[in-house]
């Protein structure tokens, strides 16, 4: 019978969590982001002359295993015939490692793929920056953002803190590197000149001022230049700006040595410090490298350099899911998890305070060593995990109150919630000529963050749709619904993710299930269900900004869609029953389906396979089904 299958699957997932919990109470399931970080670590180690051969060989093996038969590498399974940037990075890293030679058949196929797509010039801007740093690409003659932007005050219409935190931590070192036109090679550096087609080795459309279509961006640049000229002393500004940029990085180094726990930012910071005269053996650089190494995990018998760790995110979600499944907060597994969560609550003022100066620290970050960069999603997930302890335990109650105050303070002026910082939503900044800049340059309200925050408030507090703050959040969601009934998800793939978050959030705060917006979303979810009862969405949805089915069902997508339908339905429906049967059937899927990315960082460039997701979200959907309909 179906209820027996549901019960069995709930128990199977719960037992998996019991087995996988780490001694410190967390869960360290990998945060897998393809091969780029593996490639960059090889390049970094070779440049710094750190000959960790066992590590390099393992990274090489993992990269080679991911190569397609046509010589290319992909970001996700159905990404056409390959990704130019990723293939350039892999080709470069493999040659740099010394364990692959350019005459080998796999390398020749990789080279041919790159050339067939227009050459190395077609790589992503950030790939070109890495290549420029390491002597393979020419810096543009003029970098359109001068380092003096660091000196503009917060009162100026455009300033450095108008960028999102992810944009800032990556652009701060780039400003130094571009200013110096810094380039370094080692004795082992390969020569990639044969990957160019023609003589054009400039960035042009990426960071130059030669794009006639970018008139709006030119006007923003002129505003910045005028501000610098009118506010900053030209005789002292240049070195002062470089120094301030350096200090910006150094002040945000985490206990593990990384720059705010981000791989790319740490990689770029190391080279920026070299440009500023630091030695390769400087303790700050050595600690940064060690921090990157500390994020290495093992996947499929080979090492993977994670972009960051996901321990806090994993642990908050799993603790909550297990408690939803019936585990008491007093059980050992939950006690250990919640003690870990408590230990990771932040008590420092980070950059978020620039736009939210009246709030006190109290949020949680994503990764294990994150102490200054909290986010709304992790904070509400942590609060869900500890809420059953807060009424009776003074320590947890204080943590709850601090966390609640911080989350509520983060609501944007438009009524929605961002990820990291309030009101960092100046859309003209996305005119910066970089691919999919809206994903890294600003941090606006999004349906997924707004829906999940409303869901937390409705599930875990006494706030409902009559409370002014909730009203504003609901209105923002209603205004952002797409014509077909779906919502776009910023941090997951993609329309299924956004629609799940919006529907469950609005239902949690009391929006009726027969509200036209809810029913419109239900209709869309039913239309997108697959014949096998599940759902699946392609990462191409994120790139093309329209729903594109994957063609197969994934457990995570199915769980999101099901959870939304369960929340929106007064009674079980055939669609819900079919979806539950799919989930209750376990993990009998092809490997590529299980490993398909469900998270994203940047459209067309950065996708995430959360190894925890195929357990967490199905468990929650099954539990919610059981509670509502059994």
Q: How far is CA 502 from the centre of its chain?
A: 19
Residue 592 within any structural domain of the chain: yes
Please state, in angstroms and rounded to a whole number, the distance separating the CA atoms of residues 46 and 98: 10
Please state, in angstroms and rounded to a whole number, the distance separating the CA atoms of residues 242 and 276: 9
Q: Are residues 202 and 336 in the same domain?
A: no
Helix axes 376-386, 394-409, angle to 10 degrees: 150
What are the angstrom distances between the C-alpha of 175 and each of 148, 169, 204, 209, 605?
Answer: 9, 11, 17, 16, 21
DSSP-based three-state secondary structure for 606:
strand
- Which residue pairs from 350-355 have beta carbons closer than 8 angstroms and sit at least 24 positions apart in sequence? 350/374, 351/161, 351/165, 351/168, 351/252, 351/421, 352/165, 352/410, 352/420, 352/421, 352/422, 354/154, 354/161, 354/421, 355/161, 355/421, 355/422, 355/423, 355/424
What residue numbers bound the domain in which 355 lies? 11-29+310-407
Q: Are residues 104 and 199 in the same domain?
A: yes
- State the pLDDT at residue 348: 96
Low-confidence ranges of the chain (pLDDT < 70): 200-217, 234-235, 433
Residue 389 within any structural domain of the chain: yes
**Nearest to residue 316, comparing CAs of 23, 625, 612?**
612
- State the pLDDT at residue 208: 42
Count of structural domains within the chain: 3
Residue 5 within any structural domain of the chain: no
Residue 134 within any structural domain of the chain: yes
Please state, in angstroms and rounded to a whole number, the distance separating the CA atoms of residues 288 and 560: 37
DSSP-based three-state secondary structure for 356:
coil
Q: How far is CA 602 from the centre of its chain?
A: 7
Please state, in angstroms and rounded to a whole number, the distance separating the CA atoms of residues 386 and 366: 16
Residue 398 within any structural domain of the chain: yes
Per DSSP, what are the bridge partners of residue 345?
364
Domain boundary among 355, 372, 407: 407
The position carrying tokens 């350099």 is 305
- State the pLDDT at residue 210: 43
Q: Are residues 489 and 344 in the same domain?
A: no
Handedness of CA 101, 107, 112, 113 (dihedral sign): negative
Domain boundary among 305, 322, 340: 305
Please state, in angstroms and rounded to a whole number, the distance separating the CA atoms of residues 32 and 317: 18
Q: Are residues 296 and 356 in the same domain?
A: no
Tokens of 461: 């507090």
What pTM did the predictor assign? Answer: 0.96
400 Cβ partners below 8 Å, 6+ apart? 383, 386, 387, 390
DSSP-based three-state secondary structure for 582:
helix
Q: Are residues 211 and 83 in the same domain?
A: yes
Domain boundary among 372, 407, 442: 407
CATH of the domain at 99: 1.50.10.20
- State the pLDDT at residue 189: 96
Q: Are residues 550 and 447 in the same domain?
A: yes
Q: Are residues 440 and 361 in the same domain?
A: no
- State the pLDDT at residue 601: 93
Q: Are residues 163 and 228 in the same domain?
A: yes
Please state, in angstroms and rounded to a whole number, the distance separating the CA atoms of residues 446 and 430: 16
Please state, in angstroms and rounded to a whole number, the distance separating the CA atoms of residues 112 and 214: 33
Q: Are residues 479 and 627 in the same domain?
A: yes
Instruction: Report the percentage of the chain scoring pLDDT > 90.
Output: 87
Residue 2 within any structural domain of the chain: no
Q: Are residues 592 and 572 in the same domain?
A: yes
Q: Are residues 351 and 202 in the same domain?
A: no
* Residue 343: exposure state from Cβ atoms within 10 A (0-12, 13-18, ≥19): exposed
Element (H, E) at 150: none
- State the pLDDT at residue 216: 67
Please state, in angstroms and rounded to a whole number, the distance separating the CA atoms of residues 239 and 250: 16
Please state, in angstroms and rounded to a whole number, the distance separating the CA atoms of residues 422 and 412: 5
Q: Are residues 457 and 403 in the same domain?
A: no
Tokens of 284: 């700050």
The catalytic site residues sit at 377
Is residue 265 within 8 Å of 259, Cβ to Cβ? yes
Residue 353 within any structural domain of the chain: yes
Residue 585 within any structural domain of the chain: yes
């Amino acid at each position: 019978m179906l209820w027996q299958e549901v019960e069995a699957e709930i128990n199977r997932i719960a037992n998996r969590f019991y087995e996988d919990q780490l001694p410190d109470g967390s869960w360290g399931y990998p945060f897998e982001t393809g091969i780029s970080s593996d490639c960059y670590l090889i390049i970094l180690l070779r440049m710094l002359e750190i000959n960790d051969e066992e590590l390099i060989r393992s990274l090489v093996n993992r990269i080679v295993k991911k190569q397609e038969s046509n010589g290319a590498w992909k970001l996700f399974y159905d990404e056409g015939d390959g990704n130019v940037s990723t293939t350039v990075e892999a080709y470069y890293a493999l040659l740099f490692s010394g364990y692959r030679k350019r005459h080998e058949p796999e390398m020749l196929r990789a080279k041919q793929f790159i050339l067939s797509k227009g050459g190395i010039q077609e790589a992503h801007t950030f790939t070109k920056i890495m290549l420029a740093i390491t002597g393979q690409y020419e810096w543009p003659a003029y970098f359109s953002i001068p380092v003096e932007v660091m000196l503009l005050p917060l009162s100026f219409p455009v300033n450095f803190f108008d960028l999102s935190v992810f944009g800032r931590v990556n652009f701060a070192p780039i400003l130094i590197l571009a200013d110096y036109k810094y380039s370094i090679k080692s004795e082992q550096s390969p020569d990639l000149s044969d990957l160019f087609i023609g003589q054009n080795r400039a960035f042009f459309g990426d960071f130059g001022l030669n794009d006639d279509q970018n008139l709006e961006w030119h006007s923003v640049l002129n505003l910045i230049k005028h501000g610098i000229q009118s506010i900053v002393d030209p005789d002292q500004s240049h070195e002062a700006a470089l120094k301030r940029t350096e200090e910006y990085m150094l002040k945000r180094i985490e206990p593990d040595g990384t720059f705010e726990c981000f791989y790319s930012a740490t990689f770029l910071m190391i080279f920026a410090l070299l440009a500023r005269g630091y030695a390769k053996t400087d303790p700050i650089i050595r600690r940064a490298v060690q921090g990157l190494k500390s994020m290495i995990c093992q996947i499929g018998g080979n090492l993977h350099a994670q972009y960051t760790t996901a321990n806090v995110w994993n642990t908050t979600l799993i603790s909550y899911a297990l408690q939803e499944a019936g585990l008491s907060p007093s059980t050992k597994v939950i006690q250990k998890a919640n003690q870990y969560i408590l230990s990771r609550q932040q008590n420092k003022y980070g950059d978020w305070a620039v736009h939210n100066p009246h709030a006190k620290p109290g949020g949680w970050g994503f990764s294990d060593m994150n102490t200054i960069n909290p986010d709304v999603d992790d904070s509400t997930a942590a609060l869900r995990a500890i809420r059953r302890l807060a009424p009776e335990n003074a320590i947890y109650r204080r943590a709850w109150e601090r966390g609640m105050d911080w989350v509520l303070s983060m609501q944007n002026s438009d009524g929605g919630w961002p990820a990291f910082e309030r009101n960092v939503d100046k859309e003209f900044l996305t005119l910066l000529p970089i691919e999919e800049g809206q994903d890294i340059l600003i941090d606006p309200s999004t349906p997924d963050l707004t829906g999940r925050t409303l869901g937390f408030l409705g599930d875990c507090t006494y706030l409902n749709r009559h409370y002014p703050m909730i009203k504003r959040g609901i209105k923002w969601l209603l205004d952002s619904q797409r014509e077909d009934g779906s919502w776009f998800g910023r941090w997951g793939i993609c329309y299924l993710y956004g629609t799940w978050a919006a529907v469950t959030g609005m239902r949690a705060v009391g929006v009726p299930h027969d509200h036209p917006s809810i029913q419109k979303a239900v209709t869309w979810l039913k239309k997108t269900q697959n014949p096998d009862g599940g759902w699946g969405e392609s990462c191409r949805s994120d790139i093309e900004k329209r729903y594109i089915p994957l063609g197969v069902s994934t457990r995570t997508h199915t769980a999101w869609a099901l959870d939304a339908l369960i929340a929106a339905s007064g009674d079980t429906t055939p669609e819900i029953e079919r979806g539950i049967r799919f989930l209750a059937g376990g993990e009998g899927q092809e490997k590529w389906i299980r490993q398909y990315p469900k998270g994203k960082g940047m459209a067309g460039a950065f996708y995430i396979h959360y190894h925890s997701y195929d357990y967490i979200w199905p468990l929650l959907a099954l539990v919610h089904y059981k509670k509502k309909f059994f």
